[in-house]
Amino acid sequence: MATKMRLLVFVTMLLTCWLLPGPVVSAQEKKEPEPKVEEKKRPVIKAPELKPITEQLPAVFSKPSPENVDDLKAIQEHVARVVEKVSPAVVSVRVGASSGSGVIVSKDGYILTAGHVSGAVNRDVTIYFHNGKSAKGKTLGGNHGIDSGMIKMTTPGDWPFVEMGDSAQLQKGHWCLVIAHHGGFRPGRTPPVRLGRVLNTGATTLTTDAVLVGGDSGGPLFDMHGRVIGINSRIGNPLTANMHVPVNPFRENWDKIAKAEVWGGTLGGGGGKFGKGGLYLGIMTDPDAEGCVILSVTPGSPADKAGLKAKDVIRKFDDKEVTTRLVLPKLIQTKKAGDKVSLEVLRGNEVLTFQVEIGKRP
């Protein structure tokens, strides 16, 4: 009996201790620190492989110039083979209200073009092939400082493509070929072909005497093996000295461009922010010229409507001096769409004044 009483007292004491109020422990205090979750890095997007050259060119391409009719025939026959080989990959691209050219360099549809053709990232693109078929795409990134841009096909498919060459191996006098849809895609017309030679080489600019016209921007410059060595950028003055973006900067920055990164400042000096709704005049200025020299004027743009032309030199913007092409975009950004500005322009030996209404990029 005494043993039972002692056991009852012990159990009663345990229950009493359990029921007594104690320190409150919050759920937050009980919660153990969450393990750190490392941010997953996006996989590197690799550029197409640079393949060794296996084809030997006809002897005429090693000569300073063709020497006879046989040489001319050899050039003609070889160029015809190259054109047949690469033409399916040369496309016309329409971004907003503007059109340019481009070239497909991978089976999954990466397209090299000029930065002033692709413009801002994630814009809708319609791609036209030489046979009249079309597909859809999106703009990616680029180095606007050198005018490089990229587009990715979004319509599923295995696309015709060409190889990328090595622009570092180019030398003065090397033969080259331009194919592009100048003036935009036209049913029944194959992209015009122009033959030329390399005049100067550089890390960010190639100069050739292959003639460019409006709408050639973004189109490919090929070597005689049919490999892309550059992208058409700017029409020169004279027309026999035109500028192209070398292909190597595309390859060297492939991952950044393909991931829609943009760098290099304001493109073209034509004013304003890129993309739909950005302020602009509708011109492209020459990065290699002194002052602010217009290279081209977009048809239907504010500059075109006001009467500005290629080779005009912009000297004043509302009485503010325009000493370089880089000054112009900054001055445009002080305005808003619909504002009218006065531009003083030197055309030849004549000083002219134009009233231009600031527009929005379509």
Q: What is the mean pLDDT of the chain?
A: 83
Whole-angstrom Cα distance, residue 310 to residue 287?
14
Q: Among 72-76, 93-97, 207-211, which range has the highest average pLDDT?
A: 72-76
The four Cα atoms 176, 179, 182, 185 give a dihedral, to 10 degrees, of -170
pLDDT, tens digit, 9 for 90 and up, residues 13-46 = 444 444 444 444 444 455 566 666 555 677 888 8
Secondary structure letter of residue 75 according to DSSP: H
CA distance to 48, 284, 336, per residue, from 45 (Å): 10, 31, 39
Least confident of 64-73, 81-90, 273-282, 320-329: 273-282
Report the C-alpha gap between 197 and 210 in whole angstroms.
Answer: 7
Listed in sequence order, the DSSP H helices in the chain are 2-19, 27-30, 69-86, 115-118, 248-252, 254-258, 302-306, 327-332
* pLDDT tens column, 133-175: 999 999 999 988 788 999 999 999 999 999 999 999 999 999 9
Q: Could you give the C-alpha distances from 17 to 7, 13, 14, 24, 142, in angstroms and in order?
A: 16, 6, 5, 15, 73
240: left (phi over 0), alpha (psi -120 to 50) or beta: alpha
Tokens of 30: 């009980």
- DSSP-assigned states of every residue in 223-260: -TTS-EEEEEEE--SSTTSEEEEESHHHHHTHHHHHTT
Highest mean pLDDT (candidates 23-37, 49-63, 157-171, 256-270):
157-171
Determine the pLDDT at residue 25. Answer: 44
By CB atoms closer than 10 A (0-12, 13-18, 19+), residue 75 is middle
Give the per-residue pLDDT at 145.
Answer: 79
Please tell me the total number of residues recorded for the chain in this structure: 362
- Phi-psi group of 172: left, alpha or beta (phi > 0 → left; psi -120 to 50 → alpha; rest → beta): beta
The end-to-end CA distance of the chain, in Å, is 100
For residues 110 and 155, what is the distance between their CA atoms, to the nearest angstrom?
12
Q: Is the pLDDT of residue 4 over 70?
A: no
Q: Amino acid letter at 334?
A: T
State which amino acid sits at residue 30: K
Q: Which of 63-72, 286-295, 320-329 has the highest mean pLDDT?
A: 63-72
**In angstroms, how far apart are the furthest CA atoms of the chain?**
132
Q: Identify the pLDDT of residue 39.
A: 55
> In order of start, what are the domains of the chain with their CATH numbers?
62-265 (2.40.10.120), 268-360 (2.30.42.10)
**pLDDT of the residue at 189:** 77
| Residue 44 CA to its chain's centroid (Å) | 19
What is the C-alpha R_g of the chain? 31
pLDDT at 233 over 80: yes
User: Please, where are the H alpha helices in 42-136?
Assistant: 69-86, 115-118
Between 40-49, 65-74, 233-242, the lowest mean confidence (pLDDT) is in 233-242
The predicted model gives 197-226 an average pLDDT of: 90
SS3 86: helix
Percent of all residues in the chain with a pLDDT value above 70, rounded to a whole number? 82
The token duo for 157 is: 């498919």
Query: Residue 342: which pLDDT band, with cuts at 50, 70 and 90?
Result: very high
Q: So what's the pLDDT on residue 275?
A: 40
Q: Which amino acid appears at position 186 of this protein?
A: R
C-alpha closest to that of 193 among 175, 211, 207 = 211
What was the pLDDT predicted at 99?
82
CA dist 105 → 25, 88, 140, 150 (Å) = 63, 11, 15, 11
- Does 59 have pLDDT greater than 80? yes
Mean pLDDT of 173-194: 85
**pLDDT of 71 above 50:** yes
pLDDT at 273 over 50: no
Percentage above 90 pLDDT, the chain: 51
Paired tokens of 167: 């622009």
CB atoms within 10 A of CB 149: 32
**pLDDT score recorded for residue 265:** 54
User: Which of 167-176, 263-272, 333-342 is least confident?
Assistant: 263-272
pLDDT at res. 271: 42
Q: Which of 114-128, 151-165, 274-288 has the lowest mean pLDDT?
A: 274-288
Answer yes or no: is pLDDT of 7 > 70: no
